Structure 1
Amino acid sequence: MSQQTLDLVQRWLDEIVIDLNLCPFAARPRRQDKIRIALCPSDDTEAIMSVLASEIGHLNTNIATETTLLVLENGFDDFIDYLDLVAECEDWLADKGYEGIYQIASFHPAYQFAGTLAQDRENFTNRAPYPILHLLREAELTRVIDQYPDTDSIPQRNIDLLNNMPADEFEQRFCPFIHTKKPGN
């Protein structure tokens, strides 16, 4: 994995996802080194599917790894193309019998929720420096959700947090991850 890519994704995880508590379930496994970050340098769908299969295999055999961030270092800059890839990966999970065992959460530099404008801050809750397929064990997700008092409030809490953040703080936090060129480009 490109060390620059790894460093940037780790900083995003720490400084955005965890420091802002956008995902209240991320801090514990990060502290315990249970989040795997894997890189797929190819922009070829078949190669990505092969790495996805390998990472699911890793999760199947390594219970100490709670979750994997599969970083797509090259390609899939177009958000619609990326969503098509996510759908293909979800279909692969279902075809291989992993539906209900694993799920994919998605992050992308141009993430945009339906009905929003590209610059709307709520989109930044799912923006990352690279396209990322977040592979989650559903049993672990269910366990942490059962322990959290009100998971339904998380998205609105995140939207409110970003909407109420002063503009200078927002720019300072997000620009290093979203508005910069990728390392090596």
Structure 2
Amino acid sequence: MMDDALIIKQTRHWVETLVVGLNFCPFAKKELANTRYQVCHQSGMVQAVERLLEECDFLDAHPEIVTSLLILPHFADFELYLQLLDEANLSLDNNALRGTYQLASFHPEYWFEGEAKDSPAHFTNRAPFPVLHLLRESSIELAVAKFRDPQNIPTRNIATAQKLGREQLQAMLEACKQQS
């Protein structure tokens, strides 16, 4: 089993090289210093969702932390991960946290329904490990208000991914997992 420090190092490298480096999230660079990385070793759905709620509590108590990446190495199966994502969003709703927080999802096998399985577009949401990215709604609103044409970010990201191609993006993702 990998240790938490290595998992976090590889995930941070992914954020720096793909998310920020390829500008998949134009807001991320500014918040790198205010990002929290946590590894969740729970493999059960209920326990993982409880861990996510604990992370919300942490963010409530630490307003200087803008965003948190909850890394879930035990949710490697993409279908199981999607179930977790549904449960996590339902839990945000049931705990009146929607509007305060929202989730972005990343997974090593991420694929967009309706896209060809080998499409480079999937790499806009692929990460070295399954991740639930907890974002403060207020920070998103501020960032989007200052950004020109935020609705075009996904289209621009897909164009970037297609230009780089599946092989190059896969190599970049694999390089993140080579960090030691």
1:86 is matched with which residue?
Answer: 85
1:18 aligns with 2:24: no
Q: 1:168 to 1:95 in 2, by over 3 A?
A: closer
Matches within 5 A, 1:73-152: 73-74=73-74, 76-152=75-151
Q: Note the C-alpha offset of 1:170.
A: 3.4
1:51 is matched with which residue?
Answer: 51
Aligned sequence identity (%): 31
Q: Note the C-alpha offset of 1:171.
A: 4.4
User: SS of the counterpart of 2:71?
Assistant: strand
Matches within 5 A, 1:171-182: 171-177=170-176
1:29 is matched with which residue?
Answer: 31
For residues 136-168 of structure 1, the C-alpha deviation after alignment (integer angstroms, 9 at most, x for no partner) is 111111110000001111111111111112666
Higher relative contact order (CA 8 A, sep 6+): 2
Q: Note the C-alpha offset of 1:2.
A: 1.4
Count of aligned residue pairs for this structure pair: 178
Q: Which runs of 5+ in 2 are unaligned?
A: none
For residues 55-76 of structure 1, the C-alpha deviation after alignment (integer angstroms, 9 at most, x for no partner) is 00011110000000000022x2
TM-score (norm. length: structure 2): 0.92
Provide the aligned C-alpha RMSD in A. Answer: 2.0
CA contact (8 A) 1:110 1:118 kept: no
TM-score (norm. length: structure 1): 0.89
| Cα distance in 2 for residues equivalent to 1:44 and 1:152 | 35
| Cα distance in 2 for residues equivalent to 1:142 and 1:124 | 25
Which residue type is aligned with residue 103 of structure 2? I
CA contact (8 A) 2:101 2:135 kept: yes
